[in-house]
Amino acid sequence: MRSHRETLTIETPSRRAFLNITDRVQAAVAASGIREGLCLVNAMHITASVFIKVIGE
Residue 53, pLDDT above cutoff 80: no
- Helix (H) or strand (E) holding 52, with range, is none
**pLDDT band for position 44 (cuts 50, 70, 90):** confident
Query: Do 39 and 25 form a contact (C-beta atoms < 8 A)?
Result: yes
Mean pLDDT of 32-52: 85
Q: What amino acid is encoded at 49 in this protein?
A: S
Q: How far is CA 3 from CA 6, 20, 28, 33, 42, in A?
A: 10, 24, 12, 10, 16
Give pLDDT, residue 45.
79
- Where does the pLDDT of residue 47 fall: very low under 50, low under 70, confident under 90, or very high at 90 and above? confident
Please give the tally of structural domains in the chain: 1
Q: What is the pLDDT of residue 57?
A: 59
Residue 18 belongs to domain spanning? 1-57
